[in-house]
Each structure stands twice: as structure tokens, then as C-alpha cells.
Structure 1
Amino acid sequence: MLKQQLRAISSLLSSITLIGICVGMTSTLLSLRATIEDFGTLTTGIIMSAYFIGFLFGTTRASKDIRRVGYIRAFGGLAALAAASILIQAIWIDPVVWFVMRFITGFAISAIFVIVESWLNTMADNKNRGTLLSVYLVLIYAGLVVGQLLLGVADPAGFMAFALVALLINLALIPILISVTVEPTTHEPKKVPIRSLFKLVPLGIVNAFIMQACYSMFYGIGPMYALYIGLSIAEVSLFMASFILGGMLAQAPIGLLSDRFDRRIIMAACAGLGAVMALILSQLGASLVWLIYLCVALFGACVMPLYSLGMAHTNDYLEKDQMIGATSAIIKVGGIGSIIGAPAVAALMQFGAVDYFFLLIMVLTIIVCLYSLYRVTRRARAEDQLTSSYAMLGPSQTSDELLTTLVDEHEYQVEQAATEATEETDSEEPKSSSPG
């Protein structure tokens, strides 16, 4: 079943891999170029946050584009917009222009991610959702690694690196536009307000907010931190690539574990180990560069799967027609976290607290770890996950949750019985009124 699903969306996965290369290359490229242009740490942090502000707005627009023109054409238009914004940044080196263009890039990329993740979620079920999302993210992370390594070939101080990003975004259009892939039917999805989603799956919202804040800190300010501790530009590329490579290699195994065991336990374990690695990294200097690469790879292996785990955990409790709305809501919450994350750590670095970079990330991952464990005590696992022969039963629901479930079930049965009785009455009335 999983192999058939992967074949059906192979063109989509090819396109998103190329988008991943561009995303990975652009973030580090702009951070390094801003340092070369002497924009300043705080200004750079604000510019990088513009991407996530655009990300936030893009989540709102994506579902409208899907309904209006379909998945494939929406993907094509947004990719073209992203390519144009990258080229403008290469032509016009100015903090204000970069802020606006980063906003546009974030808008386009976030809408693309909503399109792709909604498409994938409509094709998955609770038994293989974690695995399918992990394959998707492995390909993105592979692209991110390649994007980091391309910076070793393209000089961030020149035009070529920007042109290469724009070229790859345009190439990403080819697989999805020329394929015979049948896109999902674009029916009217249910709206899922953030407040309602938080009541239904609070861990998914908290995880998205905190982890996207951590990611924005690392992608936006991580290259500057690496330069600060004494790494060269080539070593910075390897530093970032190690982080992404670790996440890529760990994604599939952790996704498989999350399909067999309680996802919240896996999330807690990943977040806890990530906090340990962040603490170790906060104590390392450039003299131990290979140890830094190893530790940052282990750090990436722990924290990068957390987003997909949270997304899979959230969708375990949703209906199919809720998934587009829920995906938009989760990415929107993550966008808010990203907007806060990069400028916050940039402000700390601007005022001399550079050594707190990894310590702040450590605190955030500890929060995810503890809250995941807390949620295990408050709610049973999603029902479909309990069918696995390898599954461990989660703790029982609390009395309040159990009572709520029983009341809802009773009300549902009463409504169904009333509906059936009404239908039977309506069907019998013509017979009684007809002659002999």
C-alpha cells in the first residue's frame, strides 16, 4: 500500500526535493551575505524573520488557491513567485528590499508546503501517516543538505548563488507539471480554527510553535553563531549540513517507531535527547570542529523529526476533510513561533549574550519533552494506532475525558435514532395516503 502511494506521488516528491535544496541554500546564503554586507546581527535577525511573517500569511492563502485553481496550478504559480523574489534580492542589496522579498519568499514557500502536506495527508491513513510524512521530510532534508553544500561551490558574495536558487525553483515545476499524477479532488474543506484545534490536540499546537521557533533560530542565526565561535565559511556550510543530515537520517526510523508506539513518547524522547545535545554544543568551540559536526548532527537527528511527529499526531485525531484546514492552522502557529524565534535570539546576540544561543534552544526542547509526557497522562492514543501488533497501549482516559466521550457518543446515537425515525415516517406517509 505504501509503495503504491509513493509511486502515485513520485513527481510531487521530486518537485518538493528541489524546493528543499532552494530553501536550505537560501537561508544560509542570506545570513552569510548579510554578514559580508555588515547589516548587523539584529537587522539580519529581523530580515530573516520576514520569511516567517510571509510564512504565516501564506498558510491562509494556500487553501483558497487549492479550492480556486487546484493543487498543481497553485504550486506552479507560487514557485514562480518564489523564484522572482530570490532574483530581486541578488539585484538589489538593501535591508528594506530584502525584508520585503523575504516576506514574499516565505509567503510562497509556506503555501507550497501547505499544498504538498495537505496532498500527502489526504492520501495517508493513521497506520502509515508517520512513515509517509517521514519519507516526504527525508527528501526535503536531503535537498537542504545539498543546498548547504552548494554554497561551497557558489560564492555567497556574488550573483551566481542567487541565480542558481532561482533556476532550481523553476526546475521544480517540471516534474509536477508534466506528470500524469491525479491530484486529490478539491472539495470544500472544513475550517479548523486554531482555538478548536488546540482543544482537540493541544500537543500538536505547542510542538509546532516551539519547534518552529527553534528551527528559525538555527537556520536564521546559526550560521552567524558558527562564524562567531571561529568557523570558516566552508566550515559553516558543513555545520549546517551536519544538522540537516542528522535529521534526514533519523527521520524514517523515528517515523516508523511513531507508527508503532505512542507518538507522544517518541516526541518526549527526541526532545529530551535534543536538549542534552544543545547543552553539549553550548560548551564547544572551533578547536573541536569535528566534535561540533558530530554533536550538531545528533542534535538535528533529535529535533528535526519533531515537526513531522507533531503533524502526524495531530492528524491522527482528524477527519479527512479537516486536514487542509488543520495543516494551515499548524503551519500558521509554527509561523508565529518562527517570527518570534529568530529576532529574539538575534537580540540576545546583539547585546552580547551569544553563548546563550544553544542554551535557549535547550530550554525550549525541554518544554516540549515535559509537555509530551504530560499529555500521555491525559489522553489515550489515537484509536487506529492501537491496531498495530507492536503497539503499546497508552494510559486510559481521565474520568472527565471519559465522561465527555460517553456523553458525546450517547448524544450522537440519539441524533442518529431520531434521524432514522424521521426518514421511516417520511417514507411511510405516501403509502398510507395512496388509494386501495
Structure 2
Amino acid sequence: MLYALVPISSLLISNAFLLLGHGLLLTLLPIAASESGFSDTQVALTGSAYFLGFVSGCIATPYMLKRVGHIRSFAVLATCYSVVILIFPLLPEFYTWMLLRFIIGIVISGLYMIIESWLNGTSNSNNRGSILSIYTTLNLVMVMCGQQLFNLGSAQESMLFSLAAIFISIAIIPVSLTRSAAPAVVHQVKLNMFKVWRHSHIALIGAVVAGLVTGAFWSLAPIYAKDNSFDSSQLGAFLSATVLGGACFQLPLGRISDRFDRRTVLMFMALAGSAVSLLFVGLPYIVTTFGGWAASISAFFWGGTCMTLYAICLAHANDNATSEDFVEISSAMLITLGLSSAIGAPLASLAMGLLGAKGLYAFTSGCLIIFFIIVFLRRGSHVLPSNLETKESFRAVTDMAGPAAYEMDPRTENDLTQEKD
């Protein structure tokens, strides 16, 4: 396995620095927007712009790769990212920040696709699954590290923006100096929602719910923490605990869903996620009674149930799919996740306007309860594989990736081989 990592070491190093800066920005931007006088709704709309940009980048990036190749595309997009970051503290205006966050969505989506397609091109059927797991783990770890960097400064100063831009700029160096051959151009993202719906109603609905919940979290959780008087270290611990929970629970829950009906697992995840969300509704009382560590522990379990929801839904969608359909279905699921994430943030901000900061988790609890009811009522409407041996094995995935990551999944190997032939 070590020999397989040597040719892609520069890509993984670039990815690490990229996610370090990106993770810092995910925490910094909502707090900086709030302290610049943005309302919760405006903060949410800037988050929506990011997710819309992400979806747009999934569609547009292959055209750039066809024109100038992977290395130039990576350098251009990373440079644009660094420049955009430095503009934020100079122009703290709502419409400007919406545009800048939309651009960031396009850029980070493109950077994901470049790295993922490169990793896919240098891997084979013997190591592709391991490389995908390493890539997924690296993404989550570096985002958590980036969130901890928020402790180094204030959101009202430009230092943290400059630090994020530095890390993004450093990410250009390893890729630009790599001797690894550039891969073939990635395929254009195909959208076929009807195919996903035909394979599994529950999976597509689950992707929508996962997008609503996680989109609201990434856009507004820092505001929730700020409104509950978290200091910088508590804020970093709170957000990192959520991501860590998603990382730790994904594989165990995935393996459980391999052994049992995935719909039953999704029901229990939705119910548990809703219950933990209600804990955050009463967070001031919990913190007063048990101390600040209770918030991080609750966040860990919230991440374990909510951040893994999309991965289980994706596995369920592919249970009855052939290898030829896998990338197309997965890409459609990811686009669905992105679009619903763009909707989730402003809807959650409306709940926060009515209920205060606790409205964020009241919103996520409501979404998850509705999903629980839908799965419960529709369990008999979709035929499962008749034999567990034919059921697709779970593969860990994260929403911090692009469509090209699905081509790295070993389940697509037959399809890729046929295309090469």
C-alpha cells in the first residue's frame, strides 16, 4: 500500500493544505458575517450561494479540464480561491459576500474534482478502495484541524483570512511540481433524478433531508455557538466534535446497514438525530447543569447520526443498481444534496428568527422526524435485494468531495474497464 501512495503523495499533500484552509474558512465566514452586522437570514443566504456554486462547479469544471488540463486548472482555481479569501475583509457587504461565496463553491468543487480524478487515474482495482478511504479520512481530519485554527485570532481581523489564503496558496506547490502523469479528462456529470427515484424513493428523499440538515449546520452552527456565548476554543471543539462524530460513526453504521435493512437503520438514525437535536434546543440548561463539555459530547453524537445519513442513503440507492449506473446515480445524489443544502440554510434561519438560536436544531429535528415518518410509511414500497450476499457493501463517503470521487469506488471497476475496452 505504501508504494501506491508514493505517486500520489504530492496530491495528498496539496489536498491536506487545501482542506486546512477550507476548514478554517467554514468556521470563520459565518462568524465574520455575523460580526459584520449580517442577519441570520443573510448569513444563511451566503451559505446557500456556496452550495449553489458547488453544484455549478460540478457541471462546469470538466470543460476547463478539457481546455487546459489538470495542473493548470488546479493552479488557476486555487489562486482564485486565495484571491477571493483576501477580498472578504476588504468588502464586508452582503451581496459581495454572496458572490464571493458562490465563487468559492465553484472553485472548491473544481479542486475536489481535479484531485479525485487524478487519484482515480493513478489507482487500480487492487488499491482503489484503500486510496478512497485514505482520501475521505484525510478530508475530515484536515477540516477538523482547520476549525481549530479559528482559536488563533479574531473574526473581526484579517489575520485568519490571510492564514486561510496562505494554506490554499501552499496547496498549489506540490501539484505544480509533481512528476505524476496527468489523468484522462473527467466525465461530464450526468443528472438523472428519475433513475435514482426509480431505484429508491427513500434514498432520494434521504439525500434531500441530509442536505437540508447539513446545509443548515455548515451555514449556521457557528452562529448558534456564538449566540450561546461559546468562546473560540469551545466553538472549535463544538464544530470539530460534530465532524469527528460523522467520521467515527460512518463505518460502524455502514456495516450495520450491510447486515440489516438499510431503511430500518435510516429510521433509527433519523430518530436518534432528532432526539440529539432536541438536546441542543435545551442547550443553555444542559451546559449550566453539566458543563460546556456536554455540548461537545452532544455534537459528537449529532454528527454520528446526521453527518452519516447521506452515506447510508447513497448505499441504499445503489443496492439495486448495476456498476454501469453507479457513477450516474451517485452524481445525481450529490447534486441533490447540494441543491437541498442551499435550501436548508435559509429555511433554518427562518426558524432561528422565530425561536432564536435554538431554532437551528429545532429545524433539523423537524426534518429528521418527517424523514422517519416517510421511511416508516414507505418501507413496503421498495423491493430490497432478495439475498444479503447480493447487497452492495457500504463504502465510506463524505459530502466534502466531488462527483469524481465515485469513480474511485471499486464498485465502478467493471464499468471503467468496459469503457477502456
- TM-score normalised by structure 1 residue count: 0.76
CA contact (8 A) 2:58 2:189 kept: no
CA contact (8 A) 2:144 2:240 kept: yes
Partner in structure 1 of residue 37 of structure 2? 38
| Cα distance in 1, alignment partners of residues 386 and 126 from structure 2 | 8
| Cα distance in 1, alignment partners of residues 124 and 302 from structure 2 | 29
Shift in alpha-carbon separation, 1:303–1:127, aligned structure 2, 3 A: farther
Corresponding letter in the other structure for 2:199 = L
Cα deviation for residue 17 of structure 1 reads 3.2
Cα deviation for residue 72 of structure 1 reads 4.7
Instruction: Please say which structure displays the higher CA radius of gyration.
Output: 1
Query: Is 1:337 matched up with 2:340?
Result: yes
Corresponding letter in the other structure for 1:360 = F
Shift in alpha-carbon separation, 1:149–1:325, aligned structure 2, 3 A: same
CA contact (8 A) 1:149 1:241 kept: yes
Shift in alpha-carbon separation, 1:69–1:229, aligned structure 2, 3 A: same
Cα deviation for residue 382 of structure 1 reads 9.7
Partner secondary structure for residue 358 of structure 2: helix
Shift in alpha-carbon separation, 1:322–1:163, aligned structure 2, 3 A: farther
CA contact (8 A) 1:12 1:175 kept: yes
Cα deviation for residue 308 of structure 1 reads 3.2
Partner in structure 2 of residue 193 of structure 1? 192
Cα deviation for residue 20 of structure 1 reads 2.5
CA contact (8 A) 1:264 1:376 kept: no
| Cα distance in 2, alignment partners of residues 319 and 68 from structure 1 | 32
Partner in structure 2 of residue 417 of structure 1? none
| Cα distance in 2, alignment partners of residues 264 and 179 from structure 1 | 44
Cα deviation for residue 160 of structure 1 reads 1.2
| Cα distance in 2, alignment partners of residues 267 and 8 from structure 1 | 38
Partner in structure 2 of residue 378 of structure 1? 382
Shift in alpha-carbon separation, 1:347–1:46, aligned structure 2, 3 A: same
Cα deviation for residue 335 of structure 1 reads 1.9
Corresponding letter in the other structure for 1:56 = V
Partner in structure 2 of residue 153 of structure 1? 152
Alignment of 1:129-168 (within 5 A): 133-168=132-167
| Cα distance in 2, alignment partners of residues 157 and 96 from structure 1 | 19
Shift in alpha-carbon separation, 1:243–1:76, aligned structure 2, 3 A: same
Cα deviation for residue 162 of structure 1 reads 0.6
Cα deviation for residue 74 of structure 1 reads 3.5
Corresponding letter in the other structure for 1:337 = S
Provide structure 2 residue ranges, at least 5 long, that are not aligned to the other structure: 395-421
Task: Please list the CA deviations of residues 373-408 of structure 1 after superposition, one character each: whole Å capped at 9, or x if unmatched.
Answer: 6458613249896389x99xxxxxxxxxxxxxxxxx
Cα deviation for residue 38 of structure 1 reads 1.8
Shift in alpha-carbon separation, 1:208–1:20, aligned structure 2, 3 A: farther
CA contact (8 A) 2:385 2:391 kept: no
* CA-atom RMSD in angstroms: 3.6
| Cα distance in 2, alignment partners of residues 282 and 126 from structure 1 | 47
CA contact (8 A) 2:228 2:357 kept: no
Query: Is 1:15 matched up with 2:18?
Result: no
Cα deviation for residue 351 of structure 1 reads 3.7
Provide structure 1 residue ranges, at least 5 long, that are not aligned to the other structure: 392-436
Task: Please list the CA deviations of residues 174-211 of structure 1 after superposition, one character each: whole Å capped at 9, or x if unmatched.
Answer: 34443444555337568342333332344443232221
Q: Which moved more, 1:248-257 or 1:279-288?
A: 248-257
Shift in alpha-carbon separation, 1:124–1:290, aligned structure 2, 3 A: farther
| Cα distance in 1, alignment partners of residues 201 and 367 from structure 2 | 16
Alignment of 1:238-277 (within 5 A): 238-257=237-256, 263-277=262-276
Shift in alpha-carbon separation, 1:30–1:271, aligned structure 2, 3 A: same
Number of equivalences: 388
| Cα distance in 2, alignment partners of residues 384 and 65 from structure 1 | 42
Partner secondary structure for residue 88 of structure 2: helix
Shift in alpha-carbon separation, 1:44–1:351, aligned structure 2, 3 A: same
Partner in structure 2 of residue 296 of structure 1? 299
Corresponding letter in the other structure for 2:145 = V
Partner secondary structure for residue 216 of structure 1: helix
Cα deviation for residue 262 of structure 1 reads 5.6
Shift in alpha-carbon separation, 1:167–1:319, aligned structure 2, 3 A: farther
Corresponding letter in the other structure for 1:108 = V
| Cα distance in 2, alignment partners of residues 125 and 262 from structure 1 | 28
| Cα distance in 1, alignment partners of residues 79 and 334 from structure 2 | 21
Query: Is 1:56 matched up with 2:60?
Result: no
Cα deviation for residue 89 of structure 1 reads 0.9
CA contact (8 A) 2:52 2:342 kept: yes
Alignment of 1:281-320 (within 5 A): 281-285=280-284, 286-287=287-288, 288-314=291-317
Partner secondary structure for residue 382 of structure 2: coil
Task: Please list the CA deviations of residues 20-71 of structure 1 after superposition, one character each: whole Å capped at 9, or x if unmatched.
Answer: 2223211221111122222222222222222112122112113333444455
Partner in structure 2 of residue 358 of structure 1? 361
CA contact (8 A) 2:266 2:309 kept: yes
Shift in alpha-carbon separation, 1:14–1:284, aligned structure 2, 3 A: same
- TM-score normalised by structure 2 residue count: 0.78
